[in-house]
Amino acid sequence: MGLSRSKQNAPVAPATTLFLFGAHGDLVKRLLMPALYNLFRDGLVGEDLHIVGVDHNTVSDADFAKKLEDFIRQEAASKVAQGGEEPLDPALWGSLSKRITYITGDFLDDSTYADIDAKIKSTGTRNAVFYLATAPRFFSEVTQRLGSSGLMVEDDESFRRVVIEKPFGHDLPSAVALNNCLLKVMSEKQIYRIDHYLGKETVQNILVSRFSNGLFESFWNNHYIDHVQITAAETVGVETRGSFYETTGALRDMVPNHLFQLLAMVAMEPPAAFGADAVRGEKAKVVGAIRPWSEMEALANSVRGQYSESSVDGKAVTGYRQEDRVDAESNTETYVALKVMIDNWRWMGVPFYLRTGKRMSVRDTEIAICFKPAPYAQFRDTDVDSVAPNFLKIQIQPDEGMWFDLQAKKPGPTLDMQTIELGFAYKDFFEMQPSTGYETLIYDCLTGDQTLFQRADNIENGWRAVQPFIDAWAKDPQVELYHAGEDGPAAADELLARDGRTWQRLG
Ligand code: BG6
């Protein structure tokens, strides 16, 4: 299902033993198991997929499978009650769950890896994928042990792969160190670094739309584009992740990964093919071309915000500093707005404005491409007092689609204009199967397609571009408060106003 194939001709994934490290964590029950179930429903994984949970708690195979089933059944039922998705199919689940087993083991204990080896031998398939759905502190520990116990050794007829969740490092030096550590015991071809944004259909569609419509390429450059805005606004707060978020903040959590993936999709050069090497090469290049700000420039080109308590739709909403496991005087940012420049021929002089925040007014992930306005001169003797620029809006979620703002004449005897929208909504053209976004990524890993996974150089280039903000902020830890339910602090508007621009309205 990666960019190089279509689902109609997608083959069933090869027989594999899939080890889920961190089997009792949220990711496994909320996203990975439902995705595996959906892949099984769609015939994209077969009866020869063996799923093995690995974690320190002691449970039997049957209890582990039952715990997953109860959770997935309940979630599916509550979605059905809200009018969406399908209930869990007992026959389908029964067939999948027969091949779910569990290994009780400490990630730091060599005997766990001996048990894993024995499990691979017992399933009769030598292909194995090790999915690290664990806390990041285990990434290097687990991979070193997978390497030293010989579990990463492949031969002509079998593969061994590792999937690593984000956060991949917490700054440039730690990301480089983690890459070095992985590459000591396995090759780049065996490493699948996940950014779940790449599992979203709308994100994959950016490439397809750009490169399959000749029209776009002709104006996709600094001659016609004035600036680009990339937004990921959330209404949720930090929920139960206070302690994680305290040391992470919005910049690390969203920018070098999700927002830079969106930026790369919009700004990369056309790849020679939709294969992993070509696509990832172009993405790494464009992220590597982001201008490295000095610390002074980083301060001038960034805004940090933090949500404070407020009332949203008549309900009291907790401020970040009052959240569980958050310091009452915390300066961790829950909102960030940045201006970045890409120093290459295509984008020279075109600012990319990025913003992301929690507890904003609406959930809205979108890319707005603003074109240079038409000259005003010809309207001078009319009632029109300005010509609004055209915007192309790529709506990632929710209400997935693409909209183009154009100017049109309002009917009537005088020359008056109005902005109208040409639109494409996914739901009007395609039937979207219920999915978690992880289906494509898991399937691609099982079938060996790395196109939608991050290569080491892409990750390092991303951290290199945000490092000046991290360094500058560490010396000047200040956030501006915004009320929960508002769209970030006033300074974010000033960041654009300074350049004579305004943010697109959210929603
Ligand atoms: C995760 C971040 O990677 O992405 C979360 O850690 C954030 O803080 C989430 O909420 C957003 O993902 P999505 O798919 O809801 O846009």
Q: What is the DSSP letter of 344?
A: S
Measured distance CA(368)–CA(392) in Å, rounded: 6
Please say if 258 is a catalytic residue: yes
**Best mutation site among 196, 198, 246 for ligand 1 pocket (most ligand atoms within 8 Å of CB):** 196
- The kind and range of the H/E element at 68 are helix 61-81
Residue nearest to atom 9 of ligand 1 (CA): 254
Residue labelled with tokens 């038409």: 374
Q: Which regions of the chain are under pLDDT 50?
A: 1, 4
Tell me the two tokens of residue 73: 């059944």
Instruction: Classify strands 310-312 and 302-308 as parallel, antiparallel or unpaired.
Output: unpaired
The SS3 of residue 138 is helix
Measured distance CA(263)–CA(344) in Å, rounded: 14
Domains and CATH numbers, the chain: 5-165 (3.40.50.720), 198-375+456-497 (3.30.360.10)
CA of 473 to the centre of ligand 1 (A): 23
281-289: Cβ within 8 A, 24+ apart = 283/458, 284/455, 284/457, 284/458, 284/461, 286/342, 286/344, 287/260, 287/263, 287/458, 287/461, 287/462, 287/465, 288/457, 288/461, 288/464, 289/342, 289/343, 289/344, 289/347
- The kind and range of the H/E element at 425 are strand 417-425
Tell me the two tokens of residue 500: 């004579």
**Order of all β-strands in the sheet with 128-132:** 100-104, 49-55, 16-21, 128-132, 160-164, 191-193
Counting from 1 in the atom list of ligand 1, the atom nearest the Cα of 437 is 14
CA of 412 to the centre of ligand 1 (A): 48
Return the pLDDT at 104: 97
**From 223, 227, 258, 483, active-site residue:** 258
**Best mutation site among 254, 262, 356, 365 for ligand 1 pocket (most ligand atoms within 8 Å of CB):** 254
Measured distance CA(364)–CA(487) in Å, rounded: 11
The SS3 of residue 501 is coil
**Residue 385: CB partners within 8 Å, gap ≥ 6?**
none
Counting from 1 in the atom list of ligand 1, the atom nearest the Cα of 396 is 16
Q: Is 234 in the pocket of ligand 1 (CB under 6 A)?
A: yes
Tell me the two tokens of residue 139: 């990434």
Q: State the pTM of this model.
A: 0.94
Q: What is the DSSP letter of 179?
A: H
Q: Among 503, 460, 451, which residue's Cα sits nearest to residue 338?
A: 503
Return the pLDDT at 435: 73
* Cα separations in angstroms, 358 against 60, 442, 474: 39, 28, 21
**Residue 42: CB partners within 8 Å, gap ≥ 6?**
7, 433, 439
Beta strands in 148-292 (DSSP E): 160-164, 191-193, 225-233
Measured distance CA(96)–CA(36) in Å, rounded: 9
Residue nearest to atom 8 of ligand 1 (CA): 253
Cis check: omega of the bond before 167, within 30 degrees of 0: yes
Residue nearest to atom 2 of ligand 1 (CA): 253
CA of 72 to the centre of ligand 1 (A): 20
Q: Is 365 in the pocket of ligand 1 (CB under 6 A)?
A: yes
| Residues of the binding site for substrate | 196, 200, 234, 253, 358
CA of 176 to the centre of ligand 1 (A): 23
CA of 232 to the centre of ligand 1 (A): 9
| Residues of the binding site for NADP(+) | 106-107, 166
Q: Is 253 in the pocket of ligand 1 (CB under 6 A)?
A: yes
Burial class of 364 by CB neighbour count within 10 A (0 to 12, 13 to 18, 19+): buried
Q: Among 77, 30, 79, which residue's Cα sits nearest to residue 438?
A: 30
Return the pLDDT at 467: 98
CA of 337 to the centre of ligand 1 (A): 17
**Best mutation site among 245, 253, 436 for ligand 1 pocket (most ligand atoms within 8 Å of CB):** 253
Counting from 1 in the atom list of ligand 1, the atom nearest the Cα of 234 is 10
